Amino acid sequence: MKGDAGQEAGRSGLRPPLAGLWLKEGRQIAGVTAAFIGAAVFWTAIRVMGQLDAVHVQIEEGFPPPYRVRLLDWPSFFFPAFVLWLAVVQLGGERSRGLDRLTFFLPYARRTVFAVKAALGAAVIAAALLLSALVGFGLVAGSPYRDVVVFDPALGLRLGTLFVDALALYALAMLMGAIAGSGGYQVALTIIFGVYPAGVIGLLYLTAVVHVEALHLQPLVEHWAPVEWLRAHLEAHKEEITDAVIGLSPLLHSVGAFVVGFPDPLTGGTDPAQEAAALWRLVPYDLGMTAAFLAAGAAGYAANRLELSRRMLVVPELRPLFLVGIPVHFALLGGLVASGFGGPVTGPGALVRFYFGAAVLGGVVYWGTRQRIFGPPRRRVIRPSD
């Protein structure tokens, strides 16, 4: 069902004013916007007041000034969770409730609708950051310790980095929402592709390890020229490769400190120069992914098929990719899990278990994926209270 009022308006050359679209999209996210900004401001205020209390204690105990206060001292899950919620309300939730039909029959081109949604989302993310920072500044400025308190030397960079980190994850969530048939599928796909580079490298590496150990190929592999070259290349470019793996996994950006030891953009580091350098390293990935995800999301949103809503995918052209890719990845996972149970990981028995587990889990996931893609759409249960 490709035809709709927006497409017809675009073909006819009519350009209705965008004020109505901005108002409609703004009302749609009013609740999550208030919760997002309110939670960010509240959490910042609580954390800053706690740090000011700590400054009071340090003064009483005779520690010399200045005393450092971090404005964005949030748990690493906080911002990504709200960013994902925002994108789900804009796209996936709209489909789950059947409101996508109303949106598509408004007199606006689909790419325009997607652009307005994305612009509003970016504005909400920026507002949450800026208002939180202003509240933190205000609390410090109004405290009796304002003359002995200093902020992070890289505070401006931290704000900018956190914004582009959140924007990259938001753009990914918007892309997944543009091609997914419901809010649940949007969340699942965002989480999967948010860690995909790191996850797929782990799957392939462990699969290779299982085969090498099961077939007793260690002596051959260790002295094989291509493997030695690869090992030397990985060691020489370890930092760049790690940056690429984490950089292309937007869901890992806010927890980088736990993965590769980066100073976490949310909690800060120790040395200002090292902290600033570490923050800059992910910015090019953020900007590149944001542009690519938003462009792909706009194209996917324009290619939506309304009759496919509430199925896994609403873009038919992507069906073969998902129908093959999802089962293959789960087959590798099933093989790895199976090879680790029931006996040693060396010898032909490990390979038998590997391929048995791969066949079972891969087959089950293939059947389930096919049902989600081609089967009847999942209907929303209407309760009397709705």
The letter for the amino acid at 294 is L
Q: 322 phi and psi, to 5 degrees?
A: -75, -35
DSSP 317-378: GGHHHHHHHHHHHHHHHHHHHHHTSSS-SSSHHHHHHHHHHHHHHHHHHHHHHHHHHHSPPP
Q: Is the pTM of this model over 0.75?
A: yes
Structure confidence by residue, pLDDT tens digits, 245-300: 888 889 888 654 333 344 444 334 455 556 666 667 888 999 999 999 999 999 99
pLDDT band at residue 125 using 50, 70 and 90 as cut-offs: very high
For residue 221 the two structure tokens come to 């592999």
Judge whether residue 357 has pLDDT over 90: yes
Structure confidence by residue, pLDDT tens digits, 167-224: 999 999 999 999 998 999 999 999 999 999 888 988 998 898 888 888 887 777 777 7
Spatial distance between the Cα atoms of 195 and 251, rounded to a whole number of angstroms: 6
SS (H, E, C) 3-33: CCHHHHHHHHCCCCCCHHHHHHHHHHCHHHH
241-274 exposure pattern, b = at least 16 Cβ within 10 A, e = fewer: ebbebbbbbbbbbbbbbebeebbbbbebbeeeee
The letter for the amino acid at 190 is T
pLDDT confidence of residue 183:
92
For the four alpha carbons of 143, 146, 151 and 155, in that order, the dihedral sign comes to: positive
Domain ranges for the chain, please list them: 19-195+270-313
Residues forming beta bridges with residue 313, ordered by sequence position: 180
